[in-house]
Structure 1
Amino acid sequence: MTNINILDPGASPLDYYGFELRRLREAAGLTQRQLGDVINYTGSLVGQIETARKLPTPEFSERVDAALGTDGQLSRLVALVMRSQLPAWFQQVAKLEARATEICTFQMGMIHGLLQTDAYARATLGALDRTDLDDRTAVRLARQSIFEKEEPPVFWMVLSEAALHQEIGGPESMRGQLSHLLSFGDAPRINIQVLPYSSGAHAGLTGSFTLFRFEDDPTIVYTEGYGAAYPSAHRDTVKDCSLRYDHLQAAALSLRDSAALIRRVMEDCYGVQLA
């Protein structure tokens, strides 16, 4: 067990968060149990977070900030904590997501992590390994906070129709996930196009990829292998993938027709009756 008296705030963002939580709590003259009572969590959980044995959540951080009047200090810090808990090979990609002004992604067989629901993310992460599944799911979903920024990125996803039929997490999970996709119908910064089976051979047959565009920096292409990330700013690679993405968007259904197809799959495959 980590000893709170020797917790090193420089060891990691999680340790720093725990150190700051303890410092702020003690400055307010509260015990762990008293703070837990105020924010409706157990004192034991407060202690586990202070000793870096448990991940804080955005909700926990918001409640502590409100209770202790910290002007959002822990809420700002929790994003860094969550990002530090991502697999080492993916942390650079998460930084690209956080900095990008536009994200354009083509996905072959799975909904992109930035649009996944809790149940869907849990099912994908737990397919072979269910250890620390709650924390790993929370860390993945925390990436979606980029859409809460004052100026969130524009997000375009071209999604193979196959991903709508790949039953990840069971029918209930898929109903929730496809409903979640439909919820972005009136969100101009989040756009979803489905590449239908009828498109036949297409420009994305070599696999999924993502383009990150920035205000001042060069565009970066990201592809993924097993346990490895491959970002590239190589001019020819970016040019090729940008052209491929243009062709995929042209071959995909319109935003309206994509939503109609998602609704039809929900009805035909997952037993949802939509008006």
Structure 2
Amino acid sequence: MAYIRELDPAASPLDYFGSELRRKREAAGLTQKELGAIVFCTGSLIGQVETTLKVPTREFAERVDAALMTDGFFSRLVGLVLRSQLPSWFQPYAEMEAKAAYISTYQAQVVYGLLQTEKYARAVLGAPEPRNLDELVAARLERQRLLQKERPPLVWVVLDEAVLYRPMGSREVMRDQLAHLLRFRDQRLVKIQVLPYSAGEHPGLPGAFNLLRFNDHPDIVYTEDFIQGHMTANPDGVSNGWLYYDQLQAAALSVRDSAELIAHVMEERYGDQPTAEERDVA
């Protein structure tokens, strides 16, 4: 007789998802193999999710809801599951970010997480070589769903020009990422400015930081160091954060000029390169 691992549903969102998947599958009279065939995966994968050996994706949750007719139960739960895969020190920020009405961020090294493509995110998150890279990427993409809410936040991003030139992954990855940024240029609720090299010294030199504004909560400033993140609503810290951010916006290119620079870098640095034969002919 096969050993069935018992789960404590209260242990974590992932344990709760696995235990409920098993309970509802058995209630429907389906084996793992039979459910897998319905949702286009193996019975082994169903078993891995049921025993928390595999983190479910949103697509998996949606297919299970359709197969078991659970009225969106797993689709609603999977958001909590994926958020739980974020580093423990980052989870409080992610929760506040999801509630913010206005997000302002200065990024000196990489594109802001909410605007990253999947392949770019994989390159960024994979730099430290974590064991759970797939789960971290899925969690980052899940964070981006807040831009699709019925009432999404206003997001204002200032990117250092170095972000456009720093290769993350392949040239194709960078080209797709910059093209993705350009898709936001006509959106009312996402604004992107580039801080050019010519700006010289500026208040963002100490590093990236985020500012969150809420309808019913004090503003928050968030920073990170090598070990963890730091979030505070201290009035002095928040006031300085907004002062610095105003200066960065003033020194940055306009939204229109920023889009033109992004498009230029995308073509000039990451566009199609001539082959050796083409260069010889030229």
Same-fold status (TM-score > 0.5) = yes
Q: Deviations over 1:110-137 (max 9, x none)?
A: 1111111111111112223152322222
Structure 1 portions without partners, runs of 5+: none
Cα distance change, pair 158–272 in 1 and its aligned pair in 2 (3 A)? farther
Which structure has the larger Rg? 2
Q: Deviations over 1:76-104 (max 9, x none)?
A: 11111111111111111111111111110
* Alpha-carbon distance in 2 for matches of 1:150, 1:191: 18
Aligned pairs for 1:63-212 within 5 A: 63-212=63-212
SS of match in other structure, 1:76? helix
Q: Deviations over 1:159-193 (max 9, x none)?
A: 00000000111211101111111111222111111
Cα distance change, pair 258–54 in 1 and its aligned pair in 2 (3 A)? same
* Alpha-carbon distance in 2 for matches of 1:151, 1:140: 20
- CA-atom RMSD, angstroms? 1.4
Question: Percent identical across equivalent pairs?
Answer: 58
Match of 1:241 in 2: 241
Between stretches 63-72 and 215-224, larger displacement belongs to 63-72
Corresponding letter in the other structure for 1:38: I
Match of 2:279 in 1: none
Check conservation: 1:103, 1:212, Cα contact below 8 A: yes
* Alpha-carbon distance in 1 for matches of 2:188, 2:166: 27
* Alpha-carbon distance in 2 for matches of 1:231, 1:128: 23
Q: Is 2:3 aligned against 1:17?
A: no
Cα distance change, pair 186–248 in 1 and its aligned pair in 2 (3 A)? same
Check conservation: 1:120, 1:168, Cα contact below 8 A: yes
Match of 2:51 in 1: 51
* Alpha-carbon distance in 1 for matches of 2:30, 2:155: 43
Q: Deviations over 1:33-68 (max 9, x none)?
A: 111111111111111001111000011111111222
Which segments of structure 1 move beyond 4 Å, counting only runs of 4 or more?
none
SS of match in other structure, 1:55? coil
Cα distance change, pair 272–192 in 1 and its aligned pair in 2 (3 A)? farther
Q: Deviations over 1:193-219 (max 9, x none)?
A: 111112222221121100011111000
* Alpha-carbon distance in 1 for matches of 2:39, 2:72: 15
Between stretches 123-132 and 159-168, larger displacement belongs to 123-132
Check conservation: 2:82, 2:135, Cα contact below 8 A: no
Check conservation: 2:106, 2:158, Cα contact below 8 A: yes
* Alpha-carbon distance in 1 for matches of 2:219, 2:264: 36
Check conservation: 1:111, 1:159, Cα contact below 8 A: yes
* Alpha-carbon distance in 1 for matches of 2:109, 2:238: 22
Structure 2 portions without partners, runs of 5+: 274-282
Give the CA deviation at 1:146: 1.2
Check conservation: 1:157, 1:191, Cα contact below 8 A: yes
* Alpha-carbon distance in 2 for matches of 1:26, 1:151: 38
TM-score, normalising length from structure 1?
A: 0.95
SS of match in other structure, 1:129? coil
Cα distance change, pair 148–4 in 1 and its aligned pair in 2 (3 A)? farther
Q: Is 2:228 aligned against 1:228?
A: yes
Give the CA deviation at 1:22: 1.1
Give the CA deviation at 1:5: 4.5
Match of 2:214 in 1: 214
How many pairs align? Answer: 271
Between stretches 52-61 and 243-252, larger displacement belongs to 243-252
Match of 2:278 in 1: none
